[in-house]
């Protein structure tokens, strides 16, 4: 525990102003956290390795062989921007879902809407979640399907998504956007950064002096 706290103190959080990379579209509305990471894989002590089980039950057969799924399509290997539909991340509030997305290699998600708790859990991992209209998502999906190598940029600072010669406006709530671009997206890191102030405040409380 002491080693973890020491590492957190040394780590300066990245200011996330934009995320760029190839993208992949995972179709569907109301994709819940159990589909993102099935419950039986939540017995881990740490989140390391959860990426292997991302979308496992729709991506794999019972014998572990690959099913037809966008994440198994070699055209989209190495994608770092995840695209999806309405109410992405609904269902239970399990933190394992955004952790699996992050451990798989995704660094931003663009969808038509997000479940609130999932959105918050992503933000505390430094994963921007940008909301786009159905029409703009269709344009983006078509561009990615036509050229899987096209670079998609989620411009957090300016609330826009760029791809090829096109771009459109997205919505990111101000509180999440400000946290990401200022490098204050992890509440635990913020708490550790203010350790001296916390100790001073605690020390001034009468019931802490005894």
Q: What is the dihedral of CA 166, 178, 131, 38, to 10 degrees?
A: 120
Burial 140-172 (b: 16+ CB within 10 A, else e): bbebbeeebeeebbbbbeebebbbeeebbebeb
Domains of the chain: 17-182 (3.20.19.10)
pLDDT band at residue 116 using 50, 70 and 90 as cut-offs: very high
pLDDT in tens, 150-166: 999 999 999 999 999 99
8 pLDDT tier (thresholds 50, 70, 90): very low
pLDDT at 199 over 70: no
Q: How confident is the model at residue 200 (pLDDT cuts 50, 70, 90)?
A: low
Mean pLDDT for the chain overall: 88
SS3 string of 82-130?
EECCCCECECCCCCHHHHHHHHHCCCEEEECCECHHHHHHHHCCCCCEE
pLDDT of 3: 43
Which of 17-21, 34-38, 44-48, 113-117 bottoms out in mean pLDDT, i.e. has the lowest? Answer: 44-48
Round to whole Å and give the CA distance between 85 and 96: 20
- What is the C-alpha separation between 98 and 54, in angstroms, rounded? 10
Q: How confident is the model at residue 175 (pLDDT cuts 50, 70, 90)?
A: very high
The yes-or-no verdict on residue 121 having pLDDT over 60 is: yes
pLDDT single digits (tens) 47-100: 778 889 999 999 999 998 999 999 999 999 999 999 999 999 999 888 899 999
Tell which wins on pLDDT, 23 or 207. 23
Mean pLDDT of 116-143: 96
201 alpha-carbon distance from chain centroid:
34
Q: How many CB atoms lie within 10 A of CB 58?
A: 16
């Amino acid at each position: 525990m002491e080693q973890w706290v020491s590492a957190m103190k040394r780590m300066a959080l990245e200011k996330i102003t934009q995320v760029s990379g190839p993208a992949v579209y995972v179709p569907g509305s109301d994709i819940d956290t159990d589909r993102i990471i099935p419950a039986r894989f939540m017995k881990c002590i740490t989140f390391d390795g959860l990426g292997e089980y991302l979308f496992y039950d729709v991506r794999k057969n019972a014998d572990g062989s690959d099913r037809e799924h966008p994440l198994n399509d070699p055209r989209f290997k190495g994608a770092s921007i995840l695209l999806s539909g309405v109410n992405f991340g609904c269902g239970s509030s399990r933190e394992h879902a955004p952790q699996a997305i992050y451990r798989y290699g995704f660094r931003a998600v663009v969808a038509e809407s997000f479940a609130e708790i999932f959105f918050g859990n992503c933000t505390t991992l430094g994963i921007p979640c940008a909301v786009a209209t159905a029409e703009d998502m269709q344009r983006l999906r078509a561009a990615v399907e036509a050229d899987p190598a096209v670079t998609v940029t989620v411009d957090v600072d300016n609330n826009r998504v760029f791809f090829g010669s096109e771009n459109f406006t997205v919505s990111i709530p101000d509180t999440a956007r400000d946290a990401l671009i200022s490098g204050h997206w992890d509440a635990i890191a913020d708490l550790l950064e203010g350790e001296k102030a916390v100790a001073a405040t605690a020390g001034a409380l009468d019931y802490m002096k005894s």
